[in-house]
A and B are shown apart, each in its own frame.
Chain A
């Protein structure tokens, strides 16, 4: 136990002494700026509460305790909604601006040159992105206290909701930081982060209003609005035990935050092979989780009478699109042009000891090891009868899809010089690989083909348990495509050979480019000649 305490004490000490958090705190909290904003916020909040109380409670004629309770509950929801909007906006924007501004100021380069890990820097930025929102949330507590009167809301509701809001603020800031660590344009960073937050809220609200129940209802707590609607006291079933909703929500938010931070780290220092490897490992974990979740959803829906209609709405559709979208975003933003691609060392040596001890810079070898473990696990599971045969295909499908995306991204990176083009092309390729067969299946469906056959031909619907081997087939195809892309060599040169010279003998420098055309000499050798 004391060891655990020491561990927490060390982490807390590290957090308190984080250089980036300290510096940002000095800037953010200096002078009258911070105090003024908090004062205005408090005056507004207290005014709203008093106005509401005055007009609706005292003059509204709610004399019976039940009516009064309803009114106070409405007041509670109104304020919590406003706080939820604050949680969605402020930390996201601060996170989205933070790294991008450091990059445009060119201070990020000086920071990465210091002997600190990108995680340490990102944690500092996370603290500074959420500090202000946390202060606003805590400062609002006294104003909210009025809703506790006559049971409008319980103190536990209030405290757990505020704690969840703080954890959501941290999650949203991590999304902003993730986007910000890969982009150079602040406006784009805000737009993409906003889209990310919209998606998280959509997941939370979607799960909140879906009919299915289960452990995955903990995803409700990714959205402050869904949290407000759901309350924090629901019990989430995790196997044989039930966990209070707010604790499950904290876990979900912590997990999402860790995922985004691990993906953001290579954006801060792309030369660090360990960070890249870890981020890919997380992607692998997400793929496993996503695939398993799809299987569980499918299995849950399978027995229902309206299964084919019910399944995509309640399970597979949501989970597949969420996980697929997140992994696709990581892949596409991780695409780099040839300039950056060249930074990674082409170290292909396979050293099992280095891999197991986390010392390897051999991404390829690392990937092989994990794929090997997965394939071995699948085989053992299938042979021992623990894994139902129809589940092998979808599992393979998940791993194969990520391999294919990785292959496409690497291929595009080798062929493209700029990061922007690499990302755009990767997106087009990956979307094309899914959309083109979808369109074909769509066209075939109008010609009266049988439903099962169409499911098997569709790259996503092939996961349907009714066509168990279709996902296996698609998985094999994805693996093949990924392998071909990954091993494809770049043969052609983008520009013909040329020499650029600058003549500075005159007053105005003259830049001259001579393209060299190959000629064949008498003895058959090829030479270049400037024209």
Chain B
């Protein structure tokens, strides 16, 4: 379990992070969203014990990052927004080095290396030099390095930047697999629709302030309680519009064509299902109901101003 408690970071009089707090449980994949300079990397680096907070702290499995950074380091894997690789070394040697640095038992190092190479799909490249790997493979090797000591928290700073679509899809699957092993994963990224795919929690940060924190749907509903729905009918769209107008959840009714009614709906998914059932029982030929797209990117653009530190 990771508790981030009122984390602050000041550089002189400049406040880079202003009181960030959140809590994550094992298996959570947390998407950290923000513009460049918003404070994402500073927050991640504080959790990684690379920066000392000006105030506040974080606890990983009950251990304080400020009071006992050495103990925390054994439990976290940090993948920065750069590779940090040695060119003139083989893939297994790179992992062996970090396994030794993390004091993994010497007898179990070969097995551990095989395990993380297989997880990151790099088994075939075991004896290749790092400089001969493609960018995507180097990225996976970095992830393998983070995993070699079996951490309970993974901090991934912009892991998908510069990757091609296939490599991104593979990375997404890998992160999902790691979360299913009970690890806490924190991912910062600019590619918001992707984050929505595999993050169960997101946080939006701007100028050091955590503006939103919670589940993706929860935040979408909080930011935009009204959704625009399009109802497709076989016929009788005007009558259907009248029926809908009587519903307490429907606002801003707009009849589009003879087969479509567009309206603003304020309610939960259950209430939406009840409305559709009511329409069917009233004898309307419902062909479909479509939610107009409003995703994480829309949320981000709506609640942030674009200002940076």
Using a CB–CB cutoff of 8 Å, the interface residues on chain A facing chain B are 17, 19-20, 22-23, 26-27, 30, 105-107, 109-116, 271, 338-339, 342-345, 417, 493-494, 499-505
Residues in chain B near residue A109, CB distance under 8 A: 50, 80, 84
Residue B54 at the A interface, CB < 8 A? yes
Could you tell me if B97 and A22 are in contact, using CB atoms closer than 8 angstroms?
yes
A20 to B106, CA, bound (A): 15
Q: Given A105, A115, A500, A505, which contacts B73 in the complex, CB threshold below 8 Å?
A: A115
Could you tell me if B93 and A114 are in contact, using CB atoms closer than 8 angstroms?
no
Could you tell me if A116 and B52 are in contact, using CB atoms closer than 8 angstroms?
no
Could you tell me if B11 and A114 are in contact, using CB atoms closer than 8 angstroms?
no
Total CB contacts across the A-B interface at under 8 A: 89
Residue B309 at the A interface, CB < 8 A? yes
Residue B49 at the A interface, CB < 8 A? yes
Residue B223 at the A interface, CB < 8 A? no
Could you tell me if B88 and A27 are in contact, using CB atoms closer than 8 angstroms?
yes
- Given known contacts A342-B11, A502-B308, A27 and B49 CB-to-CB distance under 8 angstroms: no
Could you tell me if B307 and A502 are in contact, using CB atoms closer than 8 angstroms?
yes
Could you tell me if B80 and A114 are in contact, using CB atoms closer than 8 angstroms?
no
Residue B166 at the A interface, CB < 8 A? no
A79 to B307, CA, bound (A): 68
A-B contact pairs, 5 of them (CB 8 A): A27-B89, A107-B85, A111-B101, A114-B73, A502-B307
Could you tell me if B89 and A342 are in contact, using CB atoms closer than 8 angstroms?
no
Closest approach, in angstroms, between the C-beta of B170 and any C-beta of chain A? 22
Using a CB–CB cutoff of 8 Å, the interface residues on chain B facing chain A are 10-13, 35, 48-52, 54, 69-71, 73-74, 78, 80, 82, 84-86, 88-89, 93, 96-98, 100-103, 106, 145, 306-309
Could you tell me if A114 and B102 are in contact, using CB atoms closer than 8 angstroms?
yes
Q: Beyond A110-B84, A493-B13, A501-B307, list 4 extra A-B contacts (CB 8 Å).
A: A22-B100, A27-B88, A113-B48, A271-B49
Closest approach, in angstroms, between the C-beta of B74 and any C-beta of chain A? 5
With both beta carbons as reference points, the residue of chain B lying nearest to A499 in the complex is identified as B307
Residues in chain B near residue A19, CB distance under 8 A: 97, 100-101
Could you tell me if A23 and B306 are in contact, using CB atoms closer than 8 angstroms?
no
Residues in chain B near residue A344, CB distance under 8 A: 52
Residues in chain B near residue A494, CB distance under 8 A: 12
A271 to B88, CA, bound (A): 30
Could you tell me if B12 and A342 are in contact, using CB atoms closer than 8 angstroms?
yes
Could you tell me if B88 and A345 are in contact, using CB atoms closer than 8 angstroms?
no
Residues in chain A near residue B48, CB distance under 8 A: 113
A23 to B70, CA, bound (A): 22
- Given known contacts A22-B97, A23-B89, A106-B82, A504 and B50 CB-to-CB distance under 8 angstroms: no
Residues in chain A near residue B49, CB distance under 8 A: 113, 271
With both beta carbons as reference points, the residue of chain A lying nearest to B74 in the complex is identified as A115
Residues in chain A near residue B102, CB distance under 8 A: 114-115
- Given known contacts A106-B84, A107-B84, A109-B80, A338 and B100 CB-to-CB distance under 8 angstroms: no
Residues in chain B near residue A271, CB distance under 8 A: 49-52, 69
A251 to B203, CA, bound (A): 58
Could you say which of B13, B52, B101, B308 has the most chain A C-beta atoms within 10 Å of its C-beta? B101
Closest approach, in angstroms, between the C-beta of B138 and any C-beta of chain A? 13
Closest approach, in angstroms, between the C-beta of A90 and any C-beta of chain B? 19
Q: Given A26, A105, A343, which contacts B93 in the complex, CB threshold below 8 Å?
A: A26
Q: Given B78, B97, B106, which contacts A23 in the complex, CB threshold below 8 Å?
A: B97
Could you tell me if B52 and A345 are in contact, using CB atoms closer than 8 angstroms?
yes
A113 to B82, CA, bound (A): 15
A117 to B35, CA, bound (A): 35
Could you tell me if B10 and A342 are in contact, using CB atoms closer than 8 angstroms?
yes
A509 to B97, CA, bound (A): 43
Q: Given A27, A115, A342, A343, which contacts B70 in the complex, CB threshold below 8 Å?
A: A115
Closest approach, in angstroms, between the C-beta of B35 and any C-beta of chain A? 8
User: Which 9 pairs show the lowest CB-CB distances between chains A and B?
Assistant: A19-B100, A114-B101, A23-B97, A115-B73, A110-B84, A107-B84, A501-B307, A115-B74, A338-B12
Closest approach, in angstroms, between the C-beta of B83 and any C-beta of chain A? 8
Residues in chain A near residue B145, CB distance under 8 A: 110
Residues in chain B near residue A110, CB distance under 8 A: 78, 80, 84, 98, 145
A344 to B68, CA, bound (A): 15
With both beta carbons as reference points, the residue of chain B lying nearest to A341 in the complex is identified as B12
A257 to B11, CA, bound (A): 35
Could you tell me if A343 and B51 are in contact, using CB atoms closer than 8 angstroms?
yes
With both beta carbons as reference points, the residue of chain B lying nearest to A31 in the complex is identified as B88
Residues in chain A near residue B86, CB distance under 8 A: 23, 27, 105, 107
Residues in chain A near residue B98, CB distance under 8 A: 110, 114
- Given known contacts A27-B88, A113-B48, A339 and B73 CB-to-CB distance under 8 angstroms: no
A105 to B86, CA, bound (A): 8
Q: Given A116, A342, A345, which contacts B101 in the complex, CB threshold below 8 Å?
A: A116
Could you tell me if A26 and B12 are in contact, using CB atoms closer than 8 angstroms?
no
A342 to B51, CA, bound (A): 10
Closest approach, in angstroms, between the C-beta of B159 and any C-beta of chain A? 15
A500 to B307, CA, bound (A): 8
Could you say which of A19, A114, A271 has the most chain B C-beta atoms within 10 Å of its C-beta? A114
Residues in chain A near residue B12, CB distance under 8 A: 338-339, 342, 417, 494
Closest approach, in angstroms, between the C-beta of A247 and any C-beta of chain B? 35
With both beta carbons as reference points, the residue of chain B lying nearest to A271 in the complex is identified as B52
A109 to B52, CA, bound (A): 14
A110 to B85, CA, bound (A): 10
Closest approach, in angstroms, between the C-beta of B207 and any C-beta of chain A? 10
Could you tell me if B97 and A500 are in contact, using CB atoms closer than 8 angstroms?
no
A338 to B101, CA, bound (A): 31
Closest approach, in angstroms, between the C-beta of B230 and any C-beta of chain A? 29
With both beta carbons as reference points, the residue of chain B lying nearest to A120 in the complex is identified as B101
A499 to B93, CA, bound (A): 48
Closest approach, in angstroms, between the C-beta of A269 and any C-beta of chain B? 10
With both beta carbons as reference points, the residue of chain B lying nearest to A346 in the complex is identified as B54
A417 to B306, CA, bound (A): 27
A499 to B306, CA, bound (A): 13
Residues in chain A near residue B50, CB distance under 8 A: 109, 112-113, 271
Could you tell me if A503 and B306 are in contact, using CB atoms closer than 8 angstroms?
yes
